[in-house]
Amino acid sequence: MRRQLPHLSLFGLLLLLIVSAGSSARAQSSIFNVPTTDTLPPQKLLVEADYIAHPASYEKGGFHYYGPTIIYGLRRNVEIGLNFYITRSAEPAAMELQPNVKWRFYSDEETGFAAAAGGLLIVPLRNRETTKTKALLYLALSKQIKGRFGPRFTSGAYTLAGPIGEDENRTGLLLGYEQPLPKKLTFVSDWYSGYNYFGYAAAGIGITLPKDSYFYAGYSFGNKGRGNNWLSLYYGRIF
């Protein structure tokens, strides 16, 4: 993630995305880690509980990462969201806010093509002298194959704004694959290229539940680093 961007505050970047989306008309609805081209219908609310863990003791690099995600359909093809996460590990507990926005600027049901752009801020609430605010900006394109079990393919690109490590990448590609299965199951997988905060490949299963709810379980593997992996469990409901 990254080329050096022109000097502009991260909050300004996010505001610019929101204003540009509103002038033409998520919470980050995603496959696992990669955003989809979907947006919530206007005035719909999605509430999701997220739990992520590296299955090891704290002394061996284990951690627990959990919190709520809230997504609201602001208007047709525009959604906004807010994530709040707590991380517990061998280090002092960390907290962060992740305000985000997504705009689906193209959708054609006949051809199955869709496109969306969005952004997500990562704002640390503790240890700000060592952890800085950063932002993810992305463009996602998707193609839905027709048929009862037709898969959907997603591709796109992203960039990070804000400070990164010397050995990290500022820009990269994103890929996703969703395959409907019998009995309301879906196989999902996605990948951010590069070595950085988002550089992971993931795969898992989604289950559609009654009352507009769902459950996803999967595993993510880091693009670099021994033991850089985690288990993900997500439960959500749309109101």
Angstrom distance (rounded) from CA 44 to CA 217: 24
pLDDT, tens only, 57-79: 898 889 999 999 999 999 999 99
pLDDT of residue 25: 27
pLDDT, tens only, 119-175: 999 999 987 777 789 999 999 999 999 998 999 999 999 999 998 888 999 999 999
CA-based nearest residue to 40, from 138, 118, 152:
118
Q: Long-range contacts: 174-177, Cβ < 8 Å, 24+?
A: 174/34, 174/35, 174/138, 174/140, 175/34, 176/31, 176/34, 176/36, 176/140, 176/142, 176/152, 177/31, 177/151, 177/152, 177/153
pLDDT of residue 165: 87
Angstrom distance (rounded) from CA 52 to CA 181: 25
pLDDT, tens only, 166-188: 899 999 999 999 999 999 999 99
Q: Which residues contact 65 (CB under 8 A, 6 or more apart)?
A: 50, 51, 52, 53, 85, 86, 87, 88, 230
Alpha helix ranges (H) inside the chain: 10-24
pLDDT at 209 over 50: yes
Q: Looking at per-residue confidence, does 28 or 56 come out higher?
A: 56
* Percentage of the residues of the chain whose pLDDT score is greater than 90: 72
Domains in the chain with CATH codes? 10-238 (2.40.160.40)
CA-based nearest residue to 220, from 33, 86, 43, 93:
33
pLDDT of residue 238: 94
Compute the mean pLDDT over every residue in the chain, rounded to the nearest whole number. Answer: 86
Query: Which two structure tokens, joined as six digits, stand for 9?
Result: 């505050």
pLDDT of residue 47: 96
DSSP string, 18-76: HHHHHHH-----BSSSSB-S--PPTT-EEEEEEEEEESS-GGGT-EEEEEEEEEEEEET
pTM summary value: 0.84
